[in-house]
Amino acid sequence: MFNTLFLPELREMLAGENRAELEEFCVTLNAGRTAEFMEGLEDMEIWQVLQFAEPERRAEIFGYFPEDRQVAMLGLQKAAEVAELVEEIPADDRVDLLQELSDHRVDEILPLLPVEDRRDIQRLQSYAEGTAGALMTTEVAMLAENLTAREALEELGRQASELETIYYLYVVDENKLLRGIVSTRQLISSLARPSRTLGEMMESDLVVAHVADDQESVAENVEKFNLLAIPVVDSGRQLLGIITHDDVIDVVREELAEDAQRIAAVAPLEEEFLRIGLLTLSWKRGIWLTILFFAALLTAFALRHYELELERYAWLVWFIPLIISAGGNSGSQSATLVITAMTSGQVKFRDWPTVMKREVVVSLMLGGFLATIGLAVAVTIAPTPFAALVIPLTLISVIVCGCLCGGALPIVFKRIGLDPAMMSNPFVAGIIDILGIVIYINIARAILG
Amino acid sequence: MFNTLFLPELREMLAGENRAELEEFCVTLNAGRTAEFMEGLEDMEIWQVLQFAEPERRAEIFGYFPEDRQVAMLGLQKAAEVAELVEEIPADDRVDLLQELSDHRVDEILPLLPVEDRRDIQRLQSYAEGTAGALMTTEVAMLAENLTAREALEELGRQASELETIYYLYVVDENKLLRGIVSTRQLISSLARPSRTLGEMMESDLVVAHVADDQESVAENVEKFNLLAIPVVDSGRQLLGIITHDDVIDVVREELAEDAQRIAAVAPLEEEFLRIGLLTLSWKRGIWLTILFFAALLTAFALRHYELELERYAWLVWFIPLIISAGGNSGSQSATLVITAMTSGQVKFRDWPTVMKREVVVSLMLGGFLATIGLAVAVTIAPTPFAALVIPLTLISVIVCGCLCGGALPIVFKRIGLDPAMMSNPFVAGIIDILGIVIYINIARAILG
């Protein structure tokens, strides 16, 4: 799994304290690949190698290790060395990392950081998880609008190493109020007229995020407007930081994984699967499992209600799981398709008649096909071929009901402001379980008399 | 839903052919917002407004409309106007759009384009859907390595308007073989030494995509190495194009939505939900539904096998759906959690002992809780309190089995090279349906004698 190509050489270099070669190893490859080649080393060994890199480069390589290894290294190495590294880690990432360390450890490291970084960390820590504030970085190019294109480029050159992105310049007034944005693209395109000022070039119709905005709506805007970064402002329009495209991918991933979990009736974990406490995990699974359990309990009472029919035609019992699962599976297919189509913006509320019409056609095709197989099996089991008709007729009705429920409920839930991914499948399952039994017994009554 | 603020004014301007105001409307706001304000207009009206924008700006605004509206406009407006617009659309997007038009329409438009664009379109069309080639754009800054930083910046300024991104410069030799990459960040940082050449600055340890690479593995690399764009090369390392970060977000979205669909036992749609043919849709749902149906059919035979027990203890029948659904739901929760954790890289094969240990604990907690509720209900229904014990004992066993199956199967499927999202839930459901019945009847036999 790990790239082990360089491990023996690296260990030899460390043992021989071969400064020149280790320094070269740290700069030759690109930072991501350098980290990859070290993945097979122990945390202690990685740390030793990293000490041979320039501080900035060291932080860059360090950033490519998985988060748990980063946390382990920050937690165990010498506080002075750790502080030196933390100073160079991008502002948004280092806040996330520090949150994973023990309070005691953080208290050791913080005093070793420059005042400015310390203040920055405390400010970023104050924003609630899941908001734009918690996602942003404060390392942003803020420039005055009277700078010329040439002056701006030179200023950018000086600041470049400290900025997360240099591809948008944020034009602010003396109170840091955001006035406009100039892209580096514009700056470079206008090199022919180097005396134009930022104020003349800047776009002032801006897409911004407010610091308390939900991270998903921020990600939506970045995607919609194809941005490399979005500025984050407070209610007075003071520029606080920016959120960059790589953080947006993480939000999209998180959001869609949560959708998949909700569809399977798990409340979103909000933590890593292997790290979340087992009690919390049981709670997040248990609430929905319990709701589903009560829905399924209704089937027990329904079946008891039909006691006489089931005793008289014992063979009906054998098909109960088949019928319920056919309805449930087709319903959860429909629900999932509509939910994913809504998340990606393909289905809006106004599309509901189209969705329903299509579900009717598809469910008749699916139901017809499965009913045919069901009939073939039922004639071998039922007392008469005529009695066997109960099975295909029930299957087709239950599958049509399943698809219509599954197609409609997510749209209804979204319309009334509930989360469709969260609510749909449990409800579909519950409704179909009970409806399936009622339909089954009533069709049986009609046919068997 | 639409922003209707400007609609009356826009229609008035169109009716009065008010050139100055319409031209101003097209440039005042940022392009995304301009498109937003027009969303409530008819396609024909949007097209008329767009004619008042400069060609480049026109394409930019056009790019913010939903794909189906873009296709509708390209399909119906004057071929000459359409060709003028198509020329300005980014190379990767226009290929996707042309694919949606009728062959006849494409034949009308292509001859009106400059030879170079035509050739470019044909080349891009030749790459298979889902590969790096189909995702890339050919508008990339290729420069020679003997250019100085200053010369490169000036060259970039000239080309800027035609490039999809100006933030990486690709250094190529005379045969377009990729030699290295210089970021605009480096270029700007080294403005103090403007005579350094690209060759001296360039990073030559490159992360590249091959033109036939699967788009998901490309997206993975872009995320892993935090790139704004990744170069696409052929087998001879000739630079063919680049894939930019915004296309990567789309791939991630697509991939995760497909995962959610697979989890719900639907073969990935690969087309928009409302546009996919109903026969294709039925097929993509039907194959898995049929497999699940056959699995559920086994339950009918199992129940027939236990005919005597079920006749003797008729009340056992009432709990069958409850038991099967409790096992199935907890199993699909586990499977979905493990699948999403694997997709996001949180769970690797080596973690399987941890996953299983955690599943055991969680399933005992969940099972214990639901068994308690089950017991409370069963004592009111079963003939004796002792007989009622069958229900909680079965529930806890089935839930533990469900969680272990659901936790293990995705890891196993991934290990043997099958798609875990595709295979897990159907298998879990099938296994639990049948296992649930076997466990139930055997516990009943043991307790009821």
Question: What secondary structure letter does DSSP report for B162?
Answer: G
Close Cβ partners of A334 (under 8 Å, ≥ 6 residues apart): A359, A363, A402, A403, A404, A405, A406, A407, A428
Residue A275: CB atoms within 10 Å? 11
Higher pLDDT, B334 or B129: B334
Minimum mean pLDDT range among A421-430, B118-127, B223-232, B426-435: A421-430
State which residue of chain B sits closest to A341, comparing Cα positions. B273
The pair of three-digit structure tokens given for residue B87, joined into one six-digit string: 């020329």
Mutate to test the interface with A, among B307, B337, B398 (most CBs of A within 10 A): B337
Report the candidate in A437, A442, A443, A444 with the shortest Cα–Cα distance to residue A321.
A437
State which residue of chain B sits closest to A34, comparing Cα positions. B205
Instruction: Give pLDDT, residue B240.
Output: 93
Cα–Cα distance, A366 to A193 (Å, whole number) = 66
B4 pLDDT tier (thresholds 50, 70, 90): low
A189 pLDDT tier (thresholds 50, 70, 90): confident
Per-residue pLDDT at A402 exceeds 50: yes
Per-residue pLDDT at A367 exceeds 90: yes
pLDDT in tens, A58-77: 999 999 998 889 999 998 88
Report the candidate in A351, A357, A422, A223 with the shortest Cα–Cα distance to residue B1.
A351
Determine the distance in angstroms separating the CA of B289 from the nearest CA of chain A, rounded to an integer. 7
The pair of three-digit structure tokens given for residue A400, joined into one six-digit string: 């049509």
Determine the distance in angstroms separating the CA of A343 from the nearest CA of chain B, rounded to an integer. 9
Instruction: Give pLDDT, residue A419.
Output: 83
**Residues B141 and B163: beta-carbon distance below 8 Å:** yes
Q: What is the mean pLDDT of residues A252-269?
A: 81
Instruction: Give pLDDT, residue A1.
Output: 44
- Could you please state the CATH topology (level 3) that the domain comprising B7-127 is classified under: MgtE N-terminal fold (1.25.60)
Average pLDDT, chain B: 88
- ipTM beyond cut 0.90: no
A268 pLDDT tier (thresholds 50, 70, 90): confident
- Could you please state the CATH topology (level 3) that the domain comprising A7-130 is classified under: MgtE N-terminal fold (1.25.60)
Verify whether the Cβ–Cβ distance B223 to A206 is below 8 Å: no
Verify whether the Cβ–Cβ distance B340 to A261 is below 8 Å: yes
Cα–Cα distance, A107 to A170 (Å, whole number) = 34
Per-residue pLDDT at A394 exceeds 90: yes
Verify whether the Cβ–Cβ distance B370 to A304 is below 8 Å: no
Give a three-class secondary structure readout of A146-196.
Answer: CCEHHHHHHHHHHHHHHCCCCCEEEEECCCCEEEEEEEHHHHHHHHHCCCC
Minimum mean pLDDT range among A164-168, B45-49, B133-137, B323-327: A164-168
Mutate to test the interface with B, among A253, A269, A270, A372 (most CBs of B within 10 A): A253
Among residues of chain B, what percentage have pLDDT more than 90? 38
Which residue from A32, A266, A326 is facing B224, i.e. has the nearest CB? A32
CATH of domain B142-252: 3.10.580.10
Domain boundaries defined on chain B: 7-127, 142-252, 278-448
pLDDT in tens, B362-384: 999 999 999 999 999 999 988 89
**Residues B390 and B448: beta-carbon distance below 8 Å:** yes
Mutate to test the interface with A, among B5, B62, B162, B185 (most CBs of A within 10 A): B185
A2 pLDDT tier (thresholds 50, 70, 90): low
Beta partners for residue B169, in sequence order: B182
Q: Which helix (H) or strand (E) holds B92?
A: helix B91-100
B chain contacts of residue A228, beta-carbon cutoff 8 Å = 167, 228, 245
Rg (Cα) of chain B, in Å, rounded? 30
B1 pLDDT tier (thresholds 50, 70, 90): very low
Instruction: Give backbone dihedrals phi and psi of B230, rounded to 5 degrees, phi first.
Output: -125, 135
- Kindly report the pTM of this predicted structure: 0.77
For helices B67-76 and B79-88, angle between their N-to-C axes, nearest 10 degrees: 140
- Which of A93-102's residues contact partners 24+ apart within 8 Å by CB, and which partners? A93/A63, A93/A137, A94/A121, A95/A121, A95/A124, A95/A125, A95/A134, A96/A67, A97/A67, A97/A70, A97/A71, A98/A125, A99/A125, A100/A67, A100/A71, A101/A71, A101/A74, A101/A75, A102/A75
Report the candidate in A233, A252, A251 with the shortest Cα–Cα distance to residue A242.
A233
A3 pLDDT tier (thresholds 50, 70, 90): low
Instruction: Give pLDDT, residue A210.
Output: 95
Instruction: Give pLDDT, residue B2.
Output: 56
Among residues of chain A, what percentage have pLDDT more than 70? 99
Residue B132: CB atoms within 10 Å? 26
Report the candidate in A401, A423, A402 with the shortest Cα–Cα distance to residue A412.
A423
Verify whether the Cβ–Cβ distance A274 to B321 is below 8 Å: no
Q: What is the mean pLDDT of residues B218-223?
A: 90
A chain contacts of residue B189, beta-carbon cutoff 8 Å = 157, 160-161
Pick among 1.20.120.420, 1.10.40.30, 3.30.200.20, 1.10.357.20: CATH of B278-448? 1.10.357.20
Which residue from A245, A266, A377 is facing B336, i.e. has the nearest CB? A266
Report the candidate in A365, A341, A367, A344 with the shortest Cα–Cα distance to residue A354.
A341
Close Cβ partners of B430 (under 8 Å, ≥ 6 residues apart): B291, B292, B295, B296, B298
Verify whether the Cβ–Cβ distance B338 to A273 is below 8 Å: yes
Which CATH homologous superfamily contains domain A142-254?
Answer: CBS-domain (3.10.580.10)
**Residues B40 and B7: beta-carbon distance below 8 Å:** yes
Cα–Cα distance, A243 to B157 (Å, whole number) = 26
Q: What is the mean pLDDT of residues B393-402?
A: 96
Verify whether the Cβ–Cβ distance A281 to B358 is below 8 Å: yes
Per-residue pLDDT at B272 exceeds 90: no
**Residues A231 and A178: beta-carbon distance below 8 Å:** yes
Give burial (CB, 10 Å; 0-12/13-18/19+) of A336: buried
Which residue from A28, A303, A354 is facing B318, i.e. has the nearest CB? A303
Give residue A206's identity as a one-letter amino acid code: L
pLDDT in tens, B164-211: 778 889 999 999 999 999 988 888 888 778 788 999 999 888 999 999
